[in-house]
Structure 1
Amino acid sequence: MTPSEVPASSQAEGRISSVRADLFDLWGLAWPVVLSRLGIMAMGLCDAIVVGRYSARELGYHALAWAPTSVVVTMSVGLLAGVQVMTARAVGQGRRNDTGAVLRRGLKYSLWIGAISTLITVLGGPAFLHVLGLEKDLADGATRPLIVFAFSLPGYAISVAASLWLEGLSRPKPAAALMWVANGVNLVVDLLLVPGTFGLPALGATGGAWATTIARTFLAVGLLAYIARMPEARELGVFTKPEKNLAAETEQRRIGFGAGASNFFEVASFASMNVFAGWIGGLAVASWAITLNVAAIVFMVPLGLSTAAAVMVGRAYGARDYRAIDRAAVVAFGVTAVFGVLAMLIVGLGAGPIAAGYTGDAATLALAVPAVALSALMFVPDALQVVCAQALRARGDVWVPTITHLASYVVVMAPLAWFLALPMKLGLAGIVWAVIAASFLSAGLLLTRFWRLSVINA
């Protein structure tokens, strides 16, 4: 019987069954990844809350120190994105034994990324803070935690490569579990070093940076130990030196370079918002830190959904099943949009209590509460753009998301934020409005690109 001879009711039931299967697959992949990504932000949240409760001024130091390293952190995830995509494609092609080679290449890249990032941050970071036109006290106060954060970057890069490999294998739960154990380590060190407990000196923002460094190093060691002890590690090629495969190496780097550049444009532009806030004043820095941290926590859910979408689309792309590619992506887009609406309502209506969880300083809350409420408008487009970008990369369209992020966040968002916040005197609200505009632009461009590719391959 040909497809045209299959009764319409049977075809409809088949489509519904496929969509249902994709929903279950998305859920099974996404929830551990969401927990893992939330764990990444929980470290920053934990630091921000403990440091903010200790001192609003120290929270400003922490935010400025975090900003340059956050660029490296997010860019590292992008540079290593090829680990996840190439692993999923190998699984889709029935070549699980080749996934160990993907991991070994990824770990090699991660060592270089971590070492170079640390060197650049330690040597150039303090000078960078002092040439931005910030108050001298802000630049001086952020210098020491910035240097400490730099030493967390090698461990972070290694943990990213290991986590992405496990996720590409559709085994995200161990990475999620270890991430939350690492969060426990981070909290303990925060409580010891930030306020100074048991006779230890109070280190403030620097103590928060040490907590993150120790926790990230712990996570890297834990993930490598887990992978080494996997029963199928040898079968997957983890301990086998891979043969030279220039095409696979090039493709893995190409995906990473595209995603890394994309993440760099986006996060560097967001980091520049800290500078604009610094030009407004110290309280604006602390208020923007709260706003950005809330938005970043919300963003971890679509970031987890984007990982699940990339694995599903990557598997289908490896099998060259274009209907499965489109179905997986549309399911992911729908779930993402629903989450974005729910997050918008929760944060928009609960901005006061949420901001109060970070600090009790009345002056800071007067700026932070309206900024957090306004930022809720970007949640739907921001969520959709990251999921769509990952789906595009998984289907081999690497550079269009990069160009889109360059246009949206560098060409549009950064100058618009400066214009609205300073010349137009909208202050922190101007920065938030610029982020909202860039998010809608990015989502619109990326969704249009995915639709056009689907039409071409139909």
Structure 2
Amino acid sequence: MNSQSHPATKQNGPGARQVFALAWPMTLKATFLHGTVVIDGFLLSALGEEALAAMGLAAALGGIVLGLIFAFSHAMQIRTAQAFGSGDQVFLKSVLASGLAVSLSIGVIGVVLIQLGGGALINSLAPSIEVAQQAQTYLSIFCIVIFGEAIGQCIVSFFNGCSRTKLPLYGYLLSVPINVASSIVLIHGYFGLPALGIAGAAVGSAIGITVQTAFWSVLLLITDGRLRRVVGWHHGTFVRTVKRHIMFALPIAATFVSATLSTHVCALIYANMRLNDFAALTLIAPWSLLAGQIAMQWAQATGILVAQLLGKHSPEDVLDRFLSRAWKGALVAASLVAMLFAAMCLSLDYIYPNLEEETRAIIFGFLPILLIVQFPRATNAICGNTLRASGDTVYVMHVFIWAQWAFRVPAAAIFVLYLDLSAFWILSLAVWEEALKFPAFHRRLWRGDWKRSDVAA
């Protein structure tokens, strides 16, 4: 594709409108992705606690592999944007092939490890033999989902990096209803089909992912099938090209893996709190995940456009003007998230009528934190995604990992295990974590080295 046809190549640079055009489909896609987990849990809830426990245990093991696939696919998204901005078809083909090779390798290794050791691990963790058997059944079928996502998430990242963010959304609009409908039919055995129970939910997910991946694969052949005829590799040979891709992707993947692990460790620490405090933190987590996608996807869209501009060696004044516009948009997105949390907290009696009054009062008390944290989080995200887009991935990794493991995790342990503080003070750690990252990110960005990066190297 000729890069001269894309808005990011205009001399005055893209603006907030272009960021929004990329961000809104990515936001809806992320909502579908996280919402599917909630739907699966809802569908299985009719089978009882054993089925839910089995799904949770199997999904936790399969989720480790999927987490790695998602982490590396995010790195591929940035690398694709750099290649797309450069207009170099060899570079673009190399990113697509390298990303698929890495993702499929993770999927194959993950499935092999699950087949070899998953059963023994489930038996040691499951509370009963029945739960262990159901979890093993679910996990064996879930391996199809892993293979599908290994291919599908690479294609999604490629489309996003090429500014075609609507195409992944179409895939989710197609697959989510198929997933839900097939799961309902197979769980309960409607239309004369056998009632498979928890296995039906896994088969439904496998069907949905298979349709989704096939749909994206056809779209990829239609839009970029010409890349098969491009000769050569970006770094001379395919092996060297893959190695360079892994070197770029590893710090980004490590950042995402670290974030997931630190979150799980903190959740284990929170389990030692009073029941109402722990319940309040547990309930606010999915809200933070879903509502926060608005600002996070805006920041990711900003990073995509920055990578494209750097790929075509745009002048520094063009980069400065674009980032200024994107920054203002990020603050608007943060304001929108804050308003959503305000509406949620003011509607607690209607959303959670069966919760104890004390738990609702704790959640309402979170409101000042939820309003404040959105703004430093949004501007830090703009900095982090801009620096990643320039290839400064190791520095961004250090900022995140040190903030998580040198501050948030030990502070959570001290606040909960030794000081026995309330949930309000535990949640306030999110504000302090963003405050710690703020100078590290902003000083690096204001230095301006990112504007002179040779992203094709």
Which of 225, 232, 236 pairs up with 1:233? 225
Does residue 396 of the first structure (1) align with residue 396 of the second (2)?
no
C-alpha spacing 1:115/1:428, structure 2 compared with 1 (3 Å): farther
Whether the aligned pair in 2 keeps the contact of 1:333 and 1:388 (CA below 8 Å) is: no
SS of corresponding position for 1:219? helix
What amino acid maps onto 1:410 in structure 2?
A: W
Whether the aligned pair in 1 keeps the contact of 2:32 and 2:172 (CA below 8 Å) is: yes
Does residue 336 of the first structure (1) align with residue 330 of the second (2)?
yes
**Counterpart of 2:289?**
296
Does residue 84 of the first structure (1) align with residue 77 of the second (2)?
yes
Separation in structure 1 between the aligned mates of residue 188 and residue 349 of structure 2, nearest angstrom: 21
Which of 339, 346, 358 pairs up with 1:345? 339
Which of 419, 427, 434 pairs up with 1:432? 427
**Counterpart of 2:376?**
381
**Deviation of the 1:123 alpha carbon:** 5.3
Whether the aligned pair in 1 keeps the contact of 2:45 and 2:51 (CA below 8 Å) is: yes
What amino acid maps onto 1:107 in structure 2?
A: L
Separation in structure 2 between the aligned mates of residue 85 and residue 233 of structure 1, nearest angstrom: 21
**Deviation of the 1:370 alpha carbon:** 3.6
Whether the aligned pair in 1 keeps the contact of 2:302 and 2:382 (CA below 8 Å) is: yes
**Deviation of the 1:183 alpha carbon:** 1.6
Deviation readout 1:49-75 (Å, 9 max, x if unpaired): 445687688667656655555454343
Separation in structure 1 between the aligned mates of residue 107 and residue 221 of structure 2, nearest angstrom: 21
**Counterpart of 1:274?**
267
**Matched length:** 435
Moved more, 432-441 or 217-226: 432-441
Which of 140, 153, 164 pairs up with 1:171? 164
- What does residue range 407-426 of structure 1 map to in structure 2 within 5 Å? 407-426=402-421
Separation in structure 2 between the aligned mates of residue 438 and residue 136 of structure 1, nearest angstrom: 39
Separation in structure 2 between the aligned mates of residue 189 and residue 366 of structure 1, nearest angstrom: 40
SS of corresponding position for 1:171? coil
**Deviation of the 1:164 alpha carbon:** 0.9
**Counterpart of 1:107?**
100
Structure 2 length as normaliser, TM-score?
Answer: 0.78
Which of 437, 441, 451 pairs up with 1:442? 437
Separation in structure 1 between the aligned mates of residue 419 and residue 134 of structure 2, nearest angstrom: 28
C-alpha spacing 1:103/1:61, structure 2 compared with 1 (3 Å): same
Does residue 181 of the first structure (1) align with residue 181 of the second (2)?
no
C-alpha spacing 1:451/1:278, structure 2 compared with 1 (3 Å): same
C-alpha spacing 1:191/1:440, structure 2 compared with 1 (3 Å): farther
- What does residue range 15-414 of structure 1 map to in structure 2 within 5 Å? 18=12, 21-51=14-44, 66-67=59-60, 69-96=62-89, 98-121=91-114, 143-144=135-136, 149=142, 151-192=144-185, 201=195, 203=197, 211-230=204-223, 232-234=224-226, 236-237=227-228, 242=233, 244=237, 248-279=241-272, 288-321=281-314, 322-351=316-345, 353=347, 362=355, 367=359, 370-371=362-363, 374=366, 376-377=370-371, 378-414=373-409
Separation in structure 2 between the aligned mates of residue 58 and residue 355 of structure 1, nearest angstrom: 30
**Deviation of the 1:137 alpha carbon:** 10
Separation in structure 2 between the aligned mates of residue 98 and residue 368 of structure 1, nearest angstrom: 53
**Deviation of the 1:152 alpha carbon:** 2.4
What amino acid maps onto 2:416 in structure 1?
A: A
**Deviation of the 1:392 alpha carbon:** 0.8
**Deviation of the 1:89 alpha carbon:** 2.0
What amino acid maps onto 2:164 in structure 1?
A: R
What amino acid maps onto 1:45 in structure 2?
A: V
Measured on the aligned residues, the alpha-carbon RMSD in Å equals: 4.0
**Counterpart of 1:9?**
none
Deviation readout 1:297-350 (Å, 9 max, x if unpaired): 123223322332122111121223333333333333322222122212222331
**Deviation of the 1:159 alpha carbon:** 1.1
Whether the aligned pair in 1 keeps the contact of 2:72 and 2:252 (CA below 8 Å) is: yes
**Deviation of the 1:296 alpha carbon:** 1.3
Separation in structure 2 between the aligned mates of residue 371 and residue 142 of structure 1, nearest angstrom: 35
Whether the aligned pair in 1 keeps the contact of 2:145 and 2:209 (CA below 8 Å) is: yes
Identity of aligned residues (%): 18
C-alpha spacing 1:440/1:341, structure 2 compared with 1 (3 Å): farther
Separation in structure 2 between the aligned mates of residue 47 and residue 400 of structure 1, nearest angstrom: 38
Whether the aligned pair in 1 keeps the contact of 2:94 and 2:241 (CA below 8 Å) is: no
Separation in structure 1 between the aligned mates of residue 202 and residue 432 of structure 2, nearest angstrom: 32
Whether the aligned pair in 2 keeps the contact of 1:326 and 1:454 (CA below 8 Å) is: no
Mark the runs of 5 or more structure 2 residues left unpaired by the alignment.
1-10
Whether the aligned pair in 2 keeps the contact of 1:417 and 1:431 (CA below 8 Å) is: yes
**Counterpart of 1:4?**
none
Whether the aligned pair in 2 keeps the contact of 1:103 and 1:238 (CA below 8 Å) is: no
SS of corresponding position for 2:418? coil
Whether the aligned pair in 2 keeps the contact of 1:110 and 1:158 (CA below 8 Å) is: yes
Separation in structure 2 between the aligned mates of residue 92 and residue 303 of structure 1, nearest angstrom: 22
What amino acid maps onto 1:441 in structure 2?
A: L
**Deviation of the 1:360 alpha carbon:** 6.8
SS of corresponding position for 2:164? coil
SS of corresponding position for 1:170? coil
What amino acid maps onto 1:233 in structure 2?
A: G
SS of corresponding position for 1:409? helix
Separation in structure 2 between the aligned mates of residue 201 and residue 366 of structure 1, nearest angstrom: 41
**Deviation of the 1:259 alpha carbon:** 0.6
**Deviation of the 1:406 alpha carbon:** 0.6
Moved more, 282-291 or 92-101: 282-291
SS of corresponding position for 1:222? helix
C-alpha spacing 1:194/1:76, structure 2 compared with 1 (3 Å): same
Whether the aligned pair in 2 keeps the contact of 1:78 and 1:258 (CA below 8 Å) is: no
**Deviation of the 1:179 alpha carbon:** 1.7
Separation in structure 2 between the aligned mates of residue 157 and residue 212 of structure 1, nearest angstrom: 15
What amino acid maps onto 2:386 in structure 1?
A: A
**Deviation of the 1:227 alpha carbon:** 0.9
**Deviation of the 1:270 alpha carbon:** 1.3
**Deviation of the 1:451 alpha carbon:** 1.9
Whether the aligned pair in 2 keeps the contact of 1:83 and 1:165 (CA below 8 Å) is: yes
